[in-house]
Structure 1
Amino acid sequence: MTIDTITDVTVLSGGTWHAATDVHLVDGRVHALVPKGELPHGERVLDGSGAHLTPGLVNTHTHLFQAGLRGIGEGLPLLSWLSAVGEEAARLTPERAYWTAAAAAAEALRSGTTTLVEHMWPHPSPEVHDAVLRALRDSGVRAVLCRGVADRADGSRKWGFDPRLMQPLKEALAHTDELIGAARGSRVAVGVAVPNPRCLTPEGMALVRAYADERELPVSLHLLETTTDDAMCREHAGVGAVEYLERAGFLWERLLAVHCVELDAAGRATLARHGVGVSYNPLSNMRLGSGIAPVPDMLEAGLRVGLGVDGAASNDTQDMLEALRIGAYLQRAAHRKADLLGFPEMFALAANGANRVLGLEERPDGVRVGMQADLVLHRFDRDYACLPVRDPGATLLTCAGSRTVAAVLVGGEVLVRDGEHVRLPARELAAGLTFTAA
């Protein structure tokens, strides 16, 4: 159902909470924010009395197929864990790709994510990628589907990518064009995904950069999740990972660098100089023992930093509200500062941090007139553990969760109501995931 008006709600706008507000929507966008009852509302009304309204969250990094791999490789170091995941990726079928993507998208929506960035692993089957696009369209989520590419093969994944999952780079890019055509007119945009700097030759980087520039596409790249990128680039190319990318011309304003746990001061300055964005994935970095990304230093260097959850095989959930909370607490523990990354700073990361790099609409300070009606309605009284609400922002950061999400709208359409996806029944999603585990 598409909504005309959200009535009598407390809305986050301009960095401030405004009570007793009616939010009027037209053609999937916010048309007006007015005091309760000031304007007549339409027939399709969502009652916001007693609730709090915010923009939706942007999950800047996930791997949707990992919704079928929860718990895999638990306790293994990154390269060993990647091998375990790679074995499952090699067995991925279009049917499994569809159900895992649909379930992961529905789960993401349930925690207030209205936009997600899917970083697909390279895969030789166009049908697998097509299935993911179909699942995203069926879920209704806004998404950037980054199609995986690589051109250096190495079964060990130390200096290249699993050859079983690769296809010629020009073929992969040609299929990306097909995905762009298939996604046209939907809420899904298309980009390119590169596993890491070690998986593209300099020639491959030049080809991908030119392709993305010509079509104005974002490119997602795992970078310095651990020390492996630097070690392997120094061994094979004689320079560190950031310099390797810079020499190849593969640092620019449409590149999203994911993780960056080992990004030093020189690297931060280089990425900032080129306008590169960063995706901060605190829970995945904790789960795999990778470390803590230097987020305050990144922000000080002028980098645009967004928040991500990563795939369910390295995080176990697609819960952005959990990532919001732990992302702040992890930095506070590392820096021994309780006043670091409060709600305004963390919500800015989670709703807007890397939007410009990804080609997404920017919304720096809450709900505003003219923005896409990608909105989340919280009812904190659904959980007594969130009460009393002394400060709505503090409540969202410290104790809210998917249980407090009463409704999620994308383009004004209600996709989640009372914890359930309205398009994809839970029983169907459960059945699809049971199949993937067989």
Structure 2
Amino acid sequence: MSVDTITDVTVYSDGTWREGTDVHLSGGRVTALVPHGELPYGERVLDGSGGHLTPGLVNTHTHLFQSGLRGIGEGLPLLAWLSAVGDEAARLTPERAYATAAAAAAEALRSGTTTLVEHMWPHPSPEVHDAVLRALRDSGVRAVLGRGVADRADGSRRWGFDPRLMQPVKEALAHTDDLIAAAHGSRVSLGLAVPNPRCLTPEGMAEVRAYADARELPVSLHLLETTTDDAMCREHAGVGAVEYLERAGFLWDRLLAVHCVELDAAGRATLARHGVGVSYNPLSNMRLGSGIAPVPQMLAAGLPVGLGVDGAASNDTQDILEALRIGAYLQRAAHRKADLFGFPEMFALAANGANRVLGLEERPAGVQAGMQADLVLHRFDRDYAVLPVRDPGATLLTCAGSRTVAAVMVGGEVLVRDGEHVRLSSKELSAGLAFTAA
């Protein structure tokens, strides 16, 4: 169901909370915010009284297939964990790819994610990628689907990628054109996903960059999640990871660098000079023992930073509100500052931090006329554990969660109501995840 008017709601707009507001929608966009009752309602009304309305959030990094791998490799260091996940990726079928992507997208929506960025691992089966696109379209979420690509094989994943999952770059890019055509007219756009700097040769980087530039696509790249990128690049190429990328011309304003835990001051300056964006994934970095990304220093250097949840094999949920909270708390603990990353700063990071780099619509500080109607309605009285509400922003940052989400809209269409996905049933999603790992 699409909504024409959300009535009598407290709405977050221009950095403040406006009570008693009617929000009018048309054509998938917000058309007006007016005092309650000032304008006639449309035919399809959502009662917002007692609720709090915000823009939806953008999960800048996930791996959807990992919703079938929760708990895998618990306690393993990154490379060993990657090996365990790689074994499961090699077994991925189109049926499992669809089931896991649909479940992950529905779970993400349930916590107020209205846009997600899927970083697919390279995989030789076009049908696997096609299945993920179908799942995203069926879920209704807005998404950037990053099609995996790599051209340097190494079973150890130290200087290359799992050879079982490799596909010639030209074939991967040709299939990306097919995906672009298949996604046309939907809420899904395409990008490319590179496992890390070690998985592309300089020649591969040039080919991927030229392809992305010609089609104005974003590219997602794991970078400096640990010290391995730098160590391997220095061993094999004689320079650190950032310089390796820069020499190959693989730093530009449509590149999203994911994690960047080990990004030093020189690296931050280099990425900022090229307009590169960063995806901050606090829970995954904690779970895998990678460390704490220097987010305040990144922002000070002028880097656009968005929030990422990462895949369910390293988080192990798709709850963006949990990532919002822990992302703030982790920085406060690291810097010993309780006033670091309050609600306005964290919400801006999560709703708009890397949108420009990803080719997504840039969003203002709250709901405003003209924006895409990607909206989340919270009802704090659904859970006594978040009451009383002294400051709605503080409540959202410190204790709200999927249990307070009453409705989620993408393009004005209600996709989640009272915790349930409208298009995809919980029973079917659960059944899709009932397979036993081989």
Q: TM-score range by the shorter chain?
A: over 0.9
State the one-letter code of the partner of 1:224.
Answer: L
> Residue 145 in 1 paired to residue 154 in 2?
no
3-state SS of paired residue (1:135): helix
Counterpart AA for 2:173: L
Count of residues in Structure 1 that have an aligned counterpart in Structure 2: 438
TM-score, normalized by length of structure 2?
Answer: 1.00
SS of the residue aligned with 2:131?
helix
How many angstroms apart in 1 are the aligned matches of 2:14 and 2:354? 19
- Post-superposition offset of 1:437: 4.4
Q: Does 1:417 align with 2:388?
A: no
Matched residue, 2:248: 248
Query: Structure 1 length as normaliser, TM-score?
Result: 1.00
Please say if residues 68 and 436 of structure 1, whose CA atoms lie closer than 8 Å, have aligned partners that are also in contact: no
Q: What's the offset of the Cα at 1:82? A: 0.1
Question: Which residue number in structure 2 is paired with residue 63 of structure 1?
Answer: 63
When residues 297 and 412 of structure 1 are mapped into structure 2, their CA distance, relative to the original with a 3 A threshold, is same
Partners of 1:389 and 1:168 lie apart in 2 by 55
Q: Which residue of 1 aligns with 2:165?
A: 165
Deviation per CA, 1:80-133: give whole Å up to 9, x if none: 000000000000000000000000000000000000000000000000000000
State the match for 1:351 in structure 2. 351
Distance in 2 between residues matched to 1:64 and 1:280, nearest whole Å: 17
Q: Distance in 2 between matches of 1:41 and 1:364?
A: 25
Aligned 1:242-321 pairs, distance under 5 A:
242-321=242-321
Equivalent positions of 1:200-211 (< 5 A) are 200-211=200-211
One-letter amino acid matched to 1:225:
E
Q: 2:106 aligns to what?
A: 106
Whether contact under 8 Å (2:88, 2:437) holds in the other structure is: no
- Give the match's secondary structure for 1:158: coil
- The aligned runs of 1:109-124 (5 Å cut-off) are 109-124=109-124
Distance in 2 between the 1:435 and 1:186 partners?
29
Instruction: After superposition, give the CA deviation of every residue in 1:153-191 in whole Å (9 maximum; x if it has no partner).
Output: 000000000011011000000000000000000000000
Q: For 2:288 and 2:437, locate their aligned partners in 1 and report how far apart those are by CA, in whole Å.
A: 22
Residue 435 of structure 1 deviates from its aligned partner by 2.4
Cα separation, 1, equivalents of 2:155 and 2:169: 17
Q: 1:437 and 1:157 mapped to 2: Cα distance?
A: 22
Deviation at 1:436, TM superposition (A): 5.5
Please tell me the residue identity of whatever aligns with 1:48.
G
- Note the alpha carbon deviations across 1:392-423, whole angstroms, 9 max, x for none: 10000000000000000000000000000000
What SS is found at the alignment partner of 1:220? strand
Corresponding residue for residue 429 of structure 1: 429
State the match for 2:183 in structure 1.
183
Check conservation: 1:7, 1:36, Cα contact below 8 A. yes
**Residues of 2 paired with 1:346 and 1:56: CA distance?**
13
Match of 1:369 in 2: 369
Write the letter of the residue equivalent to 1:323.
Answer: A
SS, match of residue 313 in structure 1: coil
Tell me if the contact between 1:150 and 1:161 (Cα under 8 Å) persists in the aligned partners.
yes
Task: Name the CA shift for 1:241/1:156 in 2 (closer, same or farther; >3 Å).
Answer: same
1:87 alignment partner in structure 2? 87
* Structure 1 consecutive aligned stretches of length 4 or more whose deviation exceeds 2 Å: 435-438
Residue type of the alignment partner of 1:303: L
Counterparts of 1:363 and 1:89, CA distance in 2:
35
Instruction: Indicate conservation of the 8 Å contact 2:198/2:233, yes or no.
Output: yes
Unaligned segments of structure 2, at least 5 residues = none
Distance 1:303 1:18 in 2: 31
Distance 2:436 2:34 in 1: 48
Q: Quick one: distance in 2 between partners of 1:45 and 1:383?
A: 24
Structure 1: distance between partners of 2:406 and 2:277:
32
Instruction: Note the C-alpha offset of 1:388.
Output: 1.1
Deviation at 1:433, TM superposition (A): 0.2
In 1: Cα distance, 2:297 partner to 2:323 partner: 19
C-alpha distance in 2 between matches for 1:253 and 1:364: 20
- Residues 96 and 436, structure 1, Cα contact 8 Å, conserved in 2: no
Letter in 2 for 1:151: D
SS of 2:333 mapped into structure 1: helix
Displacement of 1:385 after TM fit? 1.2
Secondary structure at the aligned position of 1:292 is classed as coil
Task: Report how far residue 364 of structure 1 moved.
Answer: 2.8
* Structure-2 separation of matches of 1:362 and 1:394: 24
The answer to whether the 8 Å contact 1:51/1:379 transfers is yes
Unmatched 5+ stretches in structure 1: none
Cα distance in 1 between the residues matched to 2:436 and 2:422 = 23
Answering whether residue 204 of structure 2 is matched by residue 212 of structure 1, we say: no
DSSP-derived class of the 1:328 partner: helix
For the residue of structure 2 that corresponds to 1:61, the secondary structure is strand
Give the Cα separation in 2 of the matches to 1:115 and 1:335: 30
Once the two structures are superposed, residues 301-355 of structure 1 have per-residue CA deviations (whole angstroms, 9 ceiling, x without a partner) of 0000000000000001000000000000000000000000000000011000000
Q: Secondary structure at the match of 1:85?
A: helix
Instruction: Look up the match of 1:331.
Output: 331
Residue 139 of structure 1: how far off its partner (Å): 0.2
Instruction: For residue 49 of structure 2, give the secondary structure of its aligned residue in structure 1.
Output: coil
| Distance in 2 (alpha carbons) for counterparts of 1:364 and 1:166 | 40
